[in-house]
Structure 1
């Protein structure tokens, strides 16, 4: 196993996913890529009194801070990790990143929603499981 791609969003399930991915990486000598996806804006930025560039810059800064924190927590494990900030639909961006030849596994957290909630609300992890070109480990 060469590399494990981990979706990070600051949630508790994502943190658990990163911990599990770290354990797997340690066992198999793999590297980690911690990825955060900046989602598309739902409301026009002028609704917030900001420009699109302002909102995107703020979100990227948040993503980089979150990833740096996660990377710092992994430092003591000895696992080599890098970070990746993507923009777009989260499941699609992670599936596209998983296409890299050195990615062997994708790890994502589950919000623990039931089937009805997934049907009504949608689920990034559920979508990722269906479209990822690589195996996806869902951590609860």
Structure 2
């Protein structure tokens, strides 16, 4: 099987930074394209706050997610690997599962734990959910 497209979920944790480095090296070897995704979830529902303020808060969440992608951008820049960065609004496990099921990706490379290490004893909660809901190869990086 030829690896042409790699999906790299990224949350800024040390594990996701390590996964980014693995993805870069594998992409160099395979000549693959890497899609680096940061998911952010807008969880606040305030009915009595003006919509302009809610919109502003949502925009700030998106900007923070994009800012978080600066680190993998620096890792991949000038390395001879095609890549794109995406900040997507939605639950990480839902967004990543949907992306994986699209069959656009040949491999997912993700960190073993995100920022909430307590959520899973051996694997992070998002990693665990993705592993249990998709049927494509996944490389989990500590």
Question: What's the TM-score once normalised by structure 2's chain length?
Answer: 0.81
**Equivalent residues of 1:92, 1:131 under 8 A apart:** no
Separation (CA, whole Å) in 2 of partners of 1:71 and 1:52: 29
Q: 54, 57, 65: which one pairs with 2:56?
A: 54
Q: 105, 130, 133: which one pairs with 1:131?
A: 133
Equivalent pairs, count: 135
What residue is the counterpart of 1:89 in the other structure? Answer: 91
Superposed displacement of residue 36, structure 1 = 0.7
Equivalent position SS for 1:83: strand
What residue is the counterpart of 1:80 in the other structure? Answer: 82
**Equivalent residues of 2:42, 2:61 under 8 A apart:** no
1:22 equivalent in alignment to 2:24: yes
Superposed displacement of residue 45, structure 1 = 5.1
User: What CA deviation, in whole Å up to 9, does each residue of 1:2-24 have, x standing for no partner?
Assistant: 11000011111111111111111
Unaligned runs of 5+ in 1: none
Separation (CA, whole Å) in 2 of partners of 1:132 and 1:40: 24
What residue is the counterpart of 1:33 in the other structure? Answer: 35
Equivalent position SS for 2:110: strand
**Equivalent residues of 2:6, 2:105 under 8 A apart:** yes
**Equivalent residues of 1:45, 1:55 under 8 A apart:** no
**RMSD (Å), alpha carbons:** 2.6
Question: What's the TM-score once normalised by structure 1's chain length?
Answer: 0.82
Unaligned runs of 5+ in 2: none
